[in-house]
Amino acid sequence: MERTLSIVKPDGVEKNVIGEIISRFEKNGLKIVALKRIKLTKSDAEGFYAVHKERPFFGSLTDFMSRGPVVVLVLEGENAISKNREIMGATNPEEADEGTIRKDFATNIEENTVHGSDSPESADTEIKYFFNALEITG
C-alpha cells in the first residue's frame, strides 16, 4: 500500500470538476484517505513548489496556485504514486494520453488541473505539508 498527494488546482475548482476528478481516482481503485478544500497564500504555494524555485515559471506558477481554492487529497492504494500519475496524464496537456484528467480538463502546461507526487520521498513531504496524522485515516 502506498500513499500520494493529489491537488485539484485552482483551474479544476473554477471549472467545477472536483467531483469528476475524484471519481476517476475511485474508479481506478484509489481510496481517498484525507481531503480538504483550502486557499493557498502565495507563500504557501512557494513553499510547496520550493523544488521549482529556480525555474522561469516559478512566479507565474505560484500566482496561479494561490489565485483561488484548491482541493488537497491523500490517495491510497497499490502503486498509488504511479497510478495517480497515469490517471493525471503528461504535464503538458497537448502530450497527455486520451482519457487522462489533463487531456480532458487542462487549459495549458501551467493550468493543468491536477498535481501528483512523483516519488515516495516527495509524497511523504507533500502529504505532511498539508495534513497532520489525525487528518489521515486509512
Determine if 43 is a binding residue for ligand ADP (CB under 6 A): no
Site for ligand ADP in 8-37 (CB under 6 A): none
- CA 103 to CA 77: how far, in whole Å? 23
Piece of 28-36, 75-83, 104-112, 128-136 that binds ligand ADP (CB under 6 A): 104-112
Considering the complex, state which of residue 91 and residue 138 has its C-beta at the smaller distance from ligand ADP. 91
Q: Outline where DSSP puts E strands in the chain.
A: 2-8, 31-38, 70-77, 114-116
Q: What are the residue numbers of the active site?
A: 115
- CA 91 to CA 89: how far, in whole Å? 7
Q: How far is the CB of 86 from ligand ADP (least distance, A)?
A: 12
- Choose which of 112, 127, 130, 131 interacts with ligand ADP (CB under 6 A): 112
Q: How many CB atoms lie within 10 A of CB 93?
A: 20
Q: Which H or E element spans position 59?
A: helix 58-65
Residues at the contact surface with ligand ADP, assessed by CB under 6 A = 52, 57, 61, 91, 109-110, 112, 115, 118
